[in-house]
Amino acid sequence: MAKANPSLSFLFLLHALFFTTLLEPSSSQPAAAPNTDFIKSSCRSTRYQALCVQCLSGYAASVQQDPRQLARTALQVSLDRARATSSYVGQLSRFQGITPRESQAVRDCVQNVGDSVSWLSQSIDELGQMASQAATAAEAYDWHMSNVQTWVSGALTDENMCLDGFARLGMDGRVKSSVRGQVVELGQVLSNALALVNRFGSRHRGAKGQP
């Protein structure tokens, strides 16, 4: 006897539990008030400030007051969210009631989010290289920063492409609504990460320009 596909309602419930947990870092390390204040003040440079604080305040103890570490943590949070989104969206193609057109859009979206995962992984590695080359020429440092900014921007573009696949006629059901909810929030997390990367880059260039 073939195993029945689970319902979309069950997946929605699973999603709500999973993504709520994803926002909670596992670290039990206490965060000193100045470190938390640093994250809050840094998040003012982002577009989605409340989400920024929610995602990053639990990492205050490891971030301390280091702009580079904050940018790296924001990228890592984005990477974790992108992986979770890819997994969640990928499961939609197996559920009852999904149409062939929706199934194709889901597959395309998984590919787009998968590309974002690659961009973000490269960005985190590049930021690590920048840390090891802090004393090198400004031109080399700026080249690494440009790579990070380009790749995170590429990840944001991929999220928009995912949503474009659900913009056609006949795509107004629960599958579209579920995918949109996840991808929009992922885009917001990515936007915040890019803002913190840009903030770090600007501060570093300002420091390099001082006599």
Given this model, what pLDDT does residue 131 score?
A: 65
CB 84 within 8 A of CB 22: yes
Distances (CA, A) of 5 to 8, 16, 103, 135: 9, 19, 14, 56
The predicted pLDDT at position 15 comes to 57
Tens of pLDDT along the chain (211 residues)? Answer: 444 455 555 555 555 545 554 555 544 445 567 789 999 999 999 999 999 999 999 999 999 999 999 999 999 999 999 999 999 998 887 877 788 888 889 999 999 999 999 999 999 999 887 766 554 566 777 888 899 999 999 999 998 899 888 887 777 788 888 888 899 999 999 999 999 999 998 876 655 544 4
Closest to 186 (Cα-Cα) out of 48, 63, 90, 57: 48
Angle at CA of residue 102, ends 101 and 108, nearest 5°: 95
Distance CA 193, CA 168 (A): 30
Q: Do 105 and 165 contact (CB within 8 A), yes or no?
A: yes
Half-sphere exposure of 17 (CA within 13 A, CB side): 6
According to the model, what pLDDT value does residue 12 have?
Answer: 54
Q: How far apart are CA 176 and CA 22, in angstroms?
A: 22
Q: What is the pLDDT of residue 95?
A: 77
The residue with tokens 């913009």 is 167
Domains located in the chain, CATH noted = 8-25+67-209 (1.20.140.40)
CB 5 within 8 A of CB 92: no
Instruction: Enter the pTM of the model.
Output: 0.82
Contact 11, 178 (CB under 8 A): yes
Q: What is the pLDDT, as a whole number, of residue 28? A: 45
* Alpha-carbon distances of 1 from 4, 41, rounded to whole Å: 9, 58
pLDDT at 2: 45
